[in-house]
Structure 1
Amino acid sequence: MTQAATYTLPAMHCGSCVARVERIIAAVPGASGVANLATRQVQVTAADMAPVVRALTEGGFAPQARDVALQVEGMHCASCVGRIEAALAGLPGVSHAAVNLASGMAHVTGTADSDALKEAIKAAGYSARVADGAPRGDLAARETEVARRRFILAALLALPVFALEMGGHLIPAWHHWIGAIMGHGASAWIQWALTTLILALPGRVFFAVGVPALLRRAPDMNSLVALGAGAAYLYSALVVLAPQALPLDARAIYFESAAVIVTLILVGRWMEARAKGRAGEAVRRLMRLAPAEAELLRDGAWVNVPLDQITAGATLRARPGARIAVDGIVREGASHVDQAMLTGEPMPVAKSAGDAVVGGTLNGQGALVYQATAVGEATMLAQIARMVEAAQSTKLPIQALVDRVTYWFVPAVLVVALVTVAAWLALGGGVSAALAAGVAVLIIACPCAMGLATPTSILVGSGRAAELGVLFRRSEALQRLAAARVIAFDKTGTLTEGRMAVQAFSGDEALRLAAGVESASEHPIADAIVAEAKARGLAIPEASGLEAAPGGGVSARVEGREIKVGNARFVGAEGATEALTTVYVSSGGAVIGQISLSDQIKPTASGAVSTLRAMGLEVHMLTGDAEAPALSVAEQLQITELHSELRPDAKAHLVGALRDTASVAFVGDGINDAPALAAADVGIAMGSGTDIAIEAADVVLTTGDPMAVARAHRLSQATMRNIRQNLGWAFGYNVLLIPVAAGALYPAFGLLLSPGLAAGAMALSSVAVVSNAVRLRRAG
């Protein structure tokens, strides 16, 4: 079958390269290609892409690795995950493959074509399609509805089977009544017919997937169910058709076991699908924030248009109570905007001309006219959703151990089941008891719970974090942040606002004259002085003849006087304030006042530091600022571990030194913080910071709120605790109950677990794991 694929070739730089690429492809039997120099891509048609990729690589035009997302259907346990990953990793051109049971997604990196990836998954016994961007909620809803219908049909058919066979055990008269009305032979035939319908219709999924997997010697959870239910069904059919072939005491039928097994496992999958749907609700709620339409200014009139028709630069309007459609800059109006769902900020934020607004946030009582700056996939909302889903699709280091164990789990269960049957027969337990114990072992084993334990917790935990303004760019950051014992903060822009503000001054006259001189300057200190004068309603005089002295200050003529504003040396003053930045004001050579400024501490910084210390964490402050102002901030925040006057490389080196004694998380926001962010066990970037800092970080806080660091740490610990609970339950369940199913309690207590009860326990095991993970929706 002919396939088509598009590859990016970074080494294709000129027209001759284009010709060479097309010749290389044409030399591969059955292949053809058209190269495009402008996009540096080549469109290839071939029966097999592997030889084409190999020929291009050998010819010096190695295709660029790309990421392909596939929606996989038919996965139900961790064994499924292991087999699909092994099938994908074995393909030529695949450098990395990760499958997530909770989301049903496979993420593949490499040069292999998507058709080849789908064929490999199909050969492993599953089906897949390239993810089409359909909201995960739609996929989850469809999965839940299919599972619900299967369960309802199975339950309707299983109820008469159960009543006919088990009713007599509950009500002795029922047994005699059945015998009198239809006869026990007719009852067995009815049970056979109904059970056949159950296995052929709603239960067909177990055989359609499980039997081929068994024949490929790669059994999975479906194989266990197919073997267990199939064994009970075939043995019972033999009893009905040829009872003389079996000893008298072995002529029991187990149709109700086969029917109940399938029904209970189907109800478990329905409940599991519902719980998994709730697990991914956080990202779906984020995506639903964007309105379907927006008010666009077109030809002088306001018109409603679909969101996909808005382009960057368009002028839009948000009426009171409406949602902001896309990211933009306010041009007219004033209002308060509720950004809680994106940033975790509890209070609406004031917005006026010049302020940025984010798509999906809720406008308050005022009308805003804004200009679109980012639309579609470029909006913050879309980026957040992508970032969260990327984190949800990756695996924690702890998952690697789980995957190795569960890969061999199903074959081990098959061996245990065979040994169980053989032991019962050898010890004279009888065929019926041996069959019941063997089937119970097959059914009660639950690799589903083990496979869901980690990814479901990540799914819910990272989604909840996004709601609170914490974005884990990589899921392993969850595990590393939970283990962090040292939180190292940058100062400027992280614990402080990153802008100067007047703290004290020696009279309105000095402030007024200084503002007049500084009004023409663009220095941060000048901005703070002018802002303070305006805030106090002072009339700012005009200045002329402005002259700047680098490293000293500025001077100008104001109201006929020579006014200087600067440091003590520049104006001829003596003494200085140690902790604060101080500028002096002189008139005609005489000092008439001083103004003290400092970088303002963020309102939540003190609470964040005290909260982190209360959590048992060690808090450090690393800054490039001078010792005196850094010490002032540290003292106000009660941070005892202060490191000041650090260059970017020194920050990174210090973080590395701290890592020698404990796991370190570094929090920063600037370009100069990027090396330290990369050097830490976990880098946490303020969303208000630079793109470089954000790219170097593992965790992004969508606000500049230091308290979000405490929330992030608390959430990471809650998620890891949840994962440990899930894994403890999943492994403990199997370790304890598989021996019980095999009959370990029978010699001492006479207890033997029926296949039906085993099916119920197995179904509840998966539901328990997913339900426990869903509790993280309330964390933080």
Structure 2
Amino acid sequence: MSTEQLLDQAGRRVVDLEIEGMTCASCVGRVERKLGKLDGVEATVNLPLESARVTVPAAITDAEITATVAAAGYKATIRPARDTRAAEPTAPPAGDGVAPGSAAARLRPRLFVAAALTVPVFAISMIPALQFPNWGWVAAALALPVVAWAAWPFHRAAAANARHGASTMDTLVSIGVIAAYAFSVGQLLADPRLTEHPAMEGPGSGSLYFEVASVVTTFLLLGRYLEAGAKRRAGDALRALLSLGAKDATVLRHGREEKVPAGQLLVGDLMVVRPGEKIATDGVVLDGSSAVDASLVTGESVPVEVGPDSQVIGATINTSGRLLVRATRVGSETTLAQMGRLVSAAQTGKAPIARLADRISAVFVPVVLAVAALTFGAWFLAAGPAAGPDGVRAAFTAAVAVLVIACPCALGLATPVGLLTGTGRGAQLGILIKGPQVLEDTRTVDTILLDKTGTVTTGRLAVDGIQGFGAYGEAEVLSLAGAVENASEHPIARAIAASALSAGPRDGGSGSLPAVVDFRSAPGGGVQGTVRGRLVTAGRLGWLEQNGIAPTAGQLEVLDAAERSGATAIWLAVDGKPAGIISLRDTLKPGSAAAISRLRSLGLRPILVTGDNAAVAAQVAAAVGIAPEDVFAGVLPEGKVEAVRKLQSGGATVAMAGDGVNDAAALAQADLGIAMGSGTDVAIEAADLTVMGSDLGQVAQAIELSRRTLATIKTNLFWAFFYNAVGIPVAALGLLNPMIAGAAMAASSVLVVANSLRLRSFGK
């Protein structure tokens, strides 16, 4: 799929960019503002992913977009849309964990050179016993490669920004390092005798800052190096997700098996999947039965039993029997590709909580430069002319410390790295967070509306009892009902037809059901058709009444007893007269009760909503621990939307969990829509959160993960703000050595990333 095919509802293109050269939140703000000046363009830039998602009118070309980013001082390239047909597992990085060509690999030689030269510079500058005649010139020579080559990424970025009249954290670092080195060289040139004698006492040698320039550069490079590696680990989950797909597939063509690359599969291809092999793409089982391990995609640990007509997902593993699968989705349309797009879009987005950091970062660097200048001036004036070199030294030290401590690295990383790690971990657990704003929504939700069928229960009905009336026995009632229901796709109809088929050979021992002619059906009502010359009607009581069929009082009592027991009762009438009642039951999902309890512990009020009758709903609610007053029964699809609105009008913040087409409108209406991944595409599209498994416990886990991710982001932002709020005044007061400031600045970025990486252990 090309970028031109990715369109939003207004018909605008959605383009993904890879951006080189960004280092902090100020860079992010500059790129977003530049792109935003283009007419009709909206851009969201992600710092740790070094990417941007840009929505542009059709009239704006890719060249205009990349040129605009270049005008901001950065390099942009159009990222091709992901297609899992070509996805192969990413090769593991080298033994040290650094991938060739990565940011960490590019920084490593500069870091090693800086560290190797900084150690002797620091030693001879700070330890009098190691000093020798004219040691200052040696320190200057050793520090020069550090300041010029090792710190080049900072200088290059600062220069590029300066050409465009802007400043970023690199500006602060570059100015601080160059100022420390240039000031020191100036001192040596002004007084060549400054370090003429070893261990020389007095004000002279204390005016040299070669060790400051070297140590600050080394610490900042170390911070960038560790940060780059940590950011890569934060994105590992998405890379692992996209590399799950099978590389090859065995297809059946012209009666022969042949192996082809998974990327060459077409819709309709017949795939042979043997035990232990991955299913190459989404499809439907035509022949065979097996247990499929879907844990890598859905997060469920228990293999799922599949057979003819079962849907299977690409990248899942066939554990036992041989399967013949017809491909229904390939390439970018597969479930795996959709998961990748959802996770990637969420990581590229921007949470509302990040807006405060963006606003501050936009003006942060210019303010810091002004504070550094004021700090120098204030210290110099306070010392007075009599202070001489000591006054200049104190003023210079404080100003450089302000420049170094103020770098807003941690501020720019606080939100996106937390989001990157949280959504990546969610993908591993089968939880897809559609967008970063969802994190805010999960915090405020206090009520959760649960669709019964397919969410709380399995949604797979089975015949539980048969009651024949008059001359009709159980076997004949089931046979006639199975014949007419076999023409319908409704779950109740499929359950009755399956039960009739499994009851034994029918229609002369052929093993098939009697044929039906003149078939018709009514959604939510029932079916009708002619079987063996008799008009057979099956459905709810209202359907019988619509067709002029009136049950007796005794027959209604049988219906009432069946429904009171929690069963779903279906009438069968033959030639206009009731012939029997078939009772079906929907079984609870194992763990639904525990999931309801878990939702309560999260502060949510669970409410059950279903189209079934009140007796069935009450029985299910009692089994899972939902209060009787929190049950909405007999609700039609449009009624689910009204139920959400009613709760919202009462002041509740509502989450809705469902899996069917009839849940889509309610999922969209709810403050937080949660789709069960075993459901329909339209339900998943309407939802904010998707759990790829069918276990209700994953819904609770999804809310827990979202809240944990939000809490991590808030912790990151607190420490980033706290660090700058405390560090700048301390540096301005002259209480902070520039070397310590550099170490603290680097440590703050690493701390924020390390705190985010704790999310990788969520759910373990």
Pick from 173, 190, 195 the counterpart of residue 143 of structure 2.
195
Deviation at 1:310, TM superposition (A): 2.0
* Equivalent-residue separation in structure 2 for 1:562 and 1:216 (angstroms): 82
* Equivalent-residue separation in structure 1 for 2:596 and 2:479 (angstroms): 39
Distance 1:223 1:634, change over 3 A: same
Q: Deviations over 1:50-82 (max 9, x none)?
A: xxxxxxxxxxxxx95211111111111111111
Pick from 435, 439, 450 the counterpart of residue 489 of structure 1.
450
The residue type paired with residue 29 of structure 2 is G
Within the alignment, does 1:611 sit opposite 2:637 as a pair? Answer: no
Deviation at 1:599, TM superposition (A): 3.0
Q: Deviations over 1:217-237 (max 9, x none)?
A: 421010010011011010011
Deviation at 1:273, TM superposition (A): 0.6
8 Å contact kept, 1:137–1:281 = no
Within the alignment, does 1:384 sit opposite 2:339 as a pair? Answer: yes
Within the alignment, does 1:149 sit opposite 2:109 as a pair? Answer: yes
8 Å contact kept, 2:452–2:608 = yes
Partner of 2:694: 704
Partner of 2:66: 118
Within the alignment, does 1:683 sit opposite 2:673 as a pair? Answer: yes
Within the alignment, does 1:634 sit opposite 2:580 as a pair? Answer: no
* Equivalent-residue separation in structure 2 for 1:391 and 1:501 (angstroms): 40
The residue type paired with residue 223 of structure 1 is T
Distance 1:511 1:365, change over 3 A: same
Pick from 83, 90, 100 the counterpart of residue 37 of structure 2.
90
Partner of 2:15: 68
Equivalent residue of 1:520, what SS?
A: helix
- RMSD of aligned Cα (Å): 3.5
The residue type paired with residue 765 of structure 1 is S
* Equivalent-residue separation in structure 1 for 2:571 and 2:294 (angstroms): 41
* Equivalent-residue separation in structure 2 for 1:209 and 1:199 (angstroms): 14
- The percent of aligned pairs where both chains have the same amino acid is 42
Pick from 199, 203, 208 the counterpart of residue 249 of structure 1.
203
After superposition, residues 80-229 of structure 1 pair within 5 angstroms as 80-94=27-41, 96-111=42-57, 112-132=60-80, 141=99, 142-166=102-126, 168=127, 172-175=128-131, 179=132, 183=133, 185=134, 187-214=135-162, 216-229=164-177
Pick from 485, 488, 495 the counterpart of residue 528 of structure 1.
495
Deviation at 1:446, TM superposition (A): 3.2
Q: Deviations over 1:507-549 (max 9, x none)?
A: 9x954333222231226545434544666x6665668797999
Higher mean C-alpha displacement, 269-278 vs 580-589: 580-589
8 Å contact kept, 1:553–1:567 = no
Give the aligned length. 702
Within the alignment, does 1:772 sit opposite 2:755 as a pair? Answer: yes
After superposition, residues 352-751 of structure 1 pair within 5 angstroms as 352-428=307-383, 430-505=391-466, 510-522=473-485, 524-525=491-492, 527-532=494-499, 569-570=550-551, 573-575=555-557, 576-577=560-561, 578-579=563-564, 580-582=567-569, 595-640=582-627, 641-660=630-649, 661-743=651-733
Superposition TM-score, scaled by structure 2 size: 0.84
Equivalent residue of 2:241, what SS?
A: helix
* Equivalent-residue separation in structure 2 for 1:637 and 1:595 (angstroms): 25
8 Å contact kept, 1:512–1:539 = no
Distance 1:300 1:189, change over 3 A: farther
The residue type paired with residue 674 of structure 1 is A
8 Å contact kept, 2:123–2:130 = no
Distance 1:241 1:631, change over 3 A: same
Q: Deviations over 1:335-372 (max 9, x none)?
A: 22211111111111122333222211122133323222
Q: Deviations over 1:165-209 (max 9, x none)?
A: 23x1xxx5323xxx2xxx2x1x22222222221222221111111
* Equivalent-residue separation in structure 2 for 1:219 and 1:102 (angstroms): 19
Q: Deviations over 1:109-149 (max 9, x none)?
A: 11332222222222222211112468897999412211222
8 Å contact kept, 1:563–1:588 = yes
* Equivalent-residue separation in structure 1 for 2:520 and 2:223 (angstroms): 77
8 Å contact kept, 1:250–1:432 = no
8 Å contact kept, 1:229–1:261 = yes
The residue type paired with residue 673 of structure 2 is G
8 Å contact kept, 1:9–1:64 = no
8 Å contact kept, 1:546–1:554 = no
Deviation at 1:584, TM superposition (A): 7.0
The residue type paired with residue 746 of structure 2 is A
Superposition TM-score, scaled by structure 1 size: 0.82
* Equivalent-residue separation in structure 2 for 1:351 and 1:489 (angstroms): 26
Structure 1: runs of 5 or more not aligned: 11-62, 747-751
Within the alignment, does 1:755 sit opposite 2:738 as a pair? Answer: yes
Equivalent residue of 1:99, what SS?
A: strand
Distance 1:114 1:588, change over 3 A: closer
* Equivalent-residue separation in structure 2 for 1:9 and 1:590 (angstroms): 56
Deviation at 1:403, TM superposition (A): 0.3
Query: Larger RCO: Structure 1 or Structure 2 (Cα < 8 Å, ≥ 6 residues apart)?
Result: 2
Q: Deviations over 1:755-776 (max 9, x none)?
A: 1111111111111111111111
Deviation at 1:301, TM superposition (A): 3.7
8 Å contact kept, 2:249–2:280 = yes
Deviation at 1:643, TM superposition (A): 2.0
Higher mean C-alpha displacement, 538-547 vs 616-625: 538-547
Distance 1:299 1:240, change over 3 A: farther
After superposition, residues 280-291 of structure 1 pair within 5 angstroms as 280-291=235-246
